[in-house]
Structure 1
Amino acid sequence: MTPELARLILAQVCLHACMAGTRMAAPLLALREGYSPAAVGVLLAMFALTQVFLALPAGRFADRHGLKRPIGYSVMAAVLGAGLAVAFPVFPMLCLAALLTGGATGVAVISLQRHVGRAAAGALQLRRVFSWLSIGPAVSNFIGPFTAGLLIDHAGALPNSTTGYRAAFLLMAVLPLASWLLVRPTRELPPVVVEPGSTPASAWDLLRDPAFRRLMLVNWFLSSCWDVHTFVVPVLGFEKGISASVIGSILGAFAVAAAVIRMVMPLLAAHLREWRVMVGAMLMTAVLFGVYPFMGTALGMGVCSVLLGFALGTVQPMIMSMLHQITPEARHGEALGLRLMAINASSVLMPMLFGTMGAVIGIAGVFWATGAVVGAGARAAWLLKND
């Protein structure tokens, strides 16, 4: 790993941790204030809503302007969003904070992935650099929820005050500032030269490629599993009377497992094939979702969380490697934006669907239904072996 890549990973950690910590603290505050699981589902959906509309424009913006300008705008939005939650810890402001921190993270991810992908040479190096880069969200998904949970439990002067929540949101507002300091020394890559007179193509033309369509479908299946886990663990833990710090630790265990497997992947990159990794991850996830509802203790939930982190942690580097191989260099930003838009459009709808399903068929039904869909979707990943 080069020093520049290490800086970019740390920048991603700080910015993503802001969103991850806010995404853990805001639902718990909403539940404490008496809001229903369905309302919490709406709140969680807000973290993805901005990215649905910003992803494609952000991808084109990154294609034109590179890395630093999109990151700068992302930092400002993330600080504003978490700062509003500090000043006004009420449900409408929590939704606005979700919109801002979620959108900021999406724009930053597109610009970082585009920069790193363009700097890599060849399929093997793509697998390695995206394995390293993917460690960032895994680490931040531990740091954000864990530190937020500790502050919620221990920074409050009174048991029913919002002091602990305000402290958690304040830390989340500070973290993105470090991201900008880390990105500033990075040298921009030369812009991609577009042939004069060429007609700009629509981003939707990328979907005419069967390989790209299958890759997006696999990405959607697996991103839904992350949404299920993020939604169900706080609700299930709250119902069982588990403290905020333990819930944060369960979510953090998932993130640590994903980070560990991603640290190993660069060492094994020469022996990995994208389609095989994706098929294995989907089948393992289907099995784990089948047994997760039977875990009645925090320890059992933690074990399932770790195993699920191992399975899902392998996927993103493989998807990003294949995406950069099957799309033109001049349109990497658009392809990344289209991918992010698709999975976040799902993330807007899925938490609300999970909340409704949980009320009708229970949390176990949400797990089993998602596991069945992911298991059946493994065929799409299998077909990628020929692409």
Structure 2
Amino acid sequence: MSRTDTNSTTPRGALARLICGQICLHGSMAGMRMAAPLLALRDGYSALSVGVLLALFSLTQVFLAIPAGRYADRHGLLKPMGLGVSSAMLGAGLAVLFPNFPMLCVSALLMGGATGVAIVALQRHVGRAAQDATELKQVFSWLAIGPAVSNFLGPVAAGLLIDHAGVWLGGTAGDTNGFRAAFLFMVFMPLMTWFWVRHTQELPPVVHSEQTRNAKVWHLLREPQMRRLLLVNWLLSSCWDVHTFVVPMLGHERGFSASVIGTVLGSMAVAGASVRVLMPLVAAHLREWAVITGAMVVTAVIFAIYPLMMSPWTMGLCSVLLGLSLGAVQPMILSTLHQITPHALHGQAIGLRMMTINLSSVLMPMLFGTAGLVLGVSVVFWTVGAMVGAGARMAWKLRP
């Protein structure tokens, strides 16, 4: 990153602070996404209800993604981040005060929207600061470590608090006080985000040309490469959604504790973070289209065998392998996106990508819930795996 983007003495320190802020905010939502379905299941709600609840984490992002990108293009980083932090704290705070299904739905809407607005601004800021294609892959690989770490930190912390905080307070494991403690931790995490990012210096505004002044993000859909990229990104993001949805269902059916379920989910995140740590070191040798195609093929194979794994250890192993595969994808997607998008539309292009994947995240959990009731959750894994395998040919066509 350029030295103009922060008052830090080193670009590496500036990027590290942004990553820490992202971890805290995204970790809050990840913990809520694990804890809220478990509370709903404990209270007797069906798989379909859980699917609706999970879909609400993405619903606000569908409508806010492109306006958030436009807002970031106009105002930079700090204003969107401030809005995101405030909304996430409000959402988690409501769940602390009223731990019931209707309020969890409100919390999901607030926390999902908060994270979306903040992440669009953050990705735009980091992408603008990169100098060339290799640096794009490097900085987005580092930035992608954030969600991987937060997807471990949030669910594991929430699971431990759910299992133990109630006991510490004189109750039992998994009681309402345990869930309140988990939600309270989710209030604290976004506050730490502001601590990390508040001193970041804004980049200079984009100077518009005559062509870009009137350009609209929808014009990008006329480009075949953009359409392919969005389709591939949708298929791969569906894999994260199905894993987040099905693993708690499988774990609940098999009698696993909240800590074990959180650890299985978190192991995927740790693996994703590990591969993203290595990617900046070899970024100059990576080709975006090759990494994405390989990840789709490997993911299809893992999804075929995942439902057959009956113990936490074997499920955890599949989760790790899935994390290694999918963890390499996001930096390549974002690098490609920035290379095929005009600078003046970077924020809106990121918003378009986010809108696409979150529209999927709204619809797919409800579809997963319906399919889980009718056909069983294993069929969900196999169906999505087949779709991803078939989509690998589309990723191959992303070659320049």
TM-score (norm 1): 0.98
Shift of residue 198, structure 1, vs aligned partner? 6.3
Q: Which residue of 1 aligns with 2:101?
A: 91
Shift of residue 200, structure 1, vs aligned partner? 2.0
Q: Secondary structure at the match of 2:54?
A: helix
Q: Report the CA distance shift for 1:215/1:196 in structure 2 as closer, same or farther (over 3 A).
A: closer
Correspondent of 2:373 among 359, 370, 377: 359
Q: What letter is aligned with 2:121?
A: S
Structure 1 residues 55-204: aligned runs within 5 Å: 55-156=65-166, 157-159=170-172, 161-195=175-209, 200-204=214-218
Q: What letter is aligned with 1:372?
A: A
Q: Which residue of 1 aligns with 2:6?
A: none
Distance 1:158 1:297 in 2: 29
Q: Secondary structure at the match of 1:187?
A: coil
Q: Which residue of 2 aligns with 1:299?
A: 313
Q: Secondary structure at the match of 1:134?
A: helix
1:248 aligns with 2:248: no
Q: What letter is aligned with 1:158?
A: G
Q: Which residue of 2 aligns with 1:264?
A: 278
8 Å CA contact 2:162–2:175 kept in 1: the answer is: no
Shift of residue 161, structure 1, vs aligned partner? 2.9
Correspondent of 1:33 among 36, 40, 43: 43
Distance 1:67 1:198 in 2: 21
8 Å CA contact 2:212–2:344 kept in 1: the answer is: no
The answer for unaligned runs of 5 or more in structure 2 is 1-10
Distance 2:328 2:211 in 1: 41
1:377 aligns with 2:387: no
Q: Which residue of 2 aligns with 1:52?
A: 62
1:332 aligns with 2:342: no
Correspondent of 1:43 among 29, 40, 53: 53
1:63-107 per-position Cα deviation (integer Å, ceiling 9, x unaligned)? 000000000000000000000000000001001111111111111
Q: What letter is aligned with 2:171?
A: L
8 Å CA contact 2:212–2:342 kept in 1: the answer is: no
Q: Secondary structure at the match of 1:155?
A: helix
Structure 1 residues 210-249: aligned runs within 5 Å: 210-249=224-263
Q: What letter is aligned with 1:77?
A: S
Distance 2:264 2:220 in 1: 38
Q: What letter is aligned with 1:336?
A: I
Q: What letter is aligned with 1:190?
A: P
Q: What letter is aligned with 2:27?
A: A
Q: What letter is aligned with 1:64?
A: R
Q: Report the CA distance shift for 1:375/1:196 in structure 2 as closer, same or farther (over 3 A).
A: closer
Distance 2:211 2:292 in 1: 40
User: Which stretch of structure 1 is more off in the superposition, 241-250 or 188-197?
Assistant: 188-197
Shift of residue 201, structure 1, vs aligned partner? 2.4
Q: Secondary structure at the match of 1:289?
A: helix
1:187-216 per-position Cα deviation (integer Å, ceiling 9, x unaligned)? 100000113696522221110011111000
CA RMSD of aligned residues (A): 1.0
Shift of residue 358, structure 1, vs aligned partner? 1.0
Distance 1:365 1:295 in 2: 14
Q: What letter is aligned with 2:200?
A: T
Correspondent of 1:348 among 362, 367, 378: 362
Distance 2:266 2:224 in 1: 36
Q: What letter is aligned with 2:175?
A: S
User: Which stretch of structure 1 is more off in the superposition, 195-204 or 219-228?
Assistant: 195-204
Q: Which residue of 2 aligns with 1:2?
A: 12
Q: Secondary structure at the match of 2:367?
A: helix
Structure 1 residues 279-290: aligned runs within 5 Å: 279-290=293-304
Q: Secondary structure at the match of 1:190?
A: coil
Q: Report the CA distance shift for 1:198/1:247 in structure 2 as closer, same or farther (over 3 A).
A: closer
Distance 1:364 1:76 in 2: 38
Q: Report the CA distance shift for 1:198/1:31 in structure 2 as closer, same or farther (over 3 A).
A: closer
Q: Secondary structure at the match of 1:320?
A: helix
8 Å CA contact 2:23–2:147 kept in 1: the answer is: yes
Q: Which residue of 1 aligns with 2:3?
A: none
Q: Report the CA distance shift for 1:154/1:190 in structure 2 as closer, same or farther (over 3 A).
A: same
Shift of residue 270, structure 1, vs aligned partner? 1.0
Distance 2:251 2:209 in 1: 56
Q: Secondary structure at the match of 1:46?
A: helix
Q: Secondary structure at the match of 1:321?
A: helix
Q: Which residue of 2 aligns with 1:13?
A: 23
Q: What letter is aligned with 1:169?
A: F
1:231-281 per-position Cα deviation (integer Å, ceiling 9, x unaligned)? 000010001000000000000100000000000100110110000000000
The answer for unaligned runs of 5 or more in structure 1 is none
Q: What letter is aligned with 2:44?
A: G
Q: What letter is aligned with 2:317?
A: V
Shift of residue 131, structure 1, vs aligned partner? 0.2
Q: Secondary structure at the match of 1:241?
A: coil
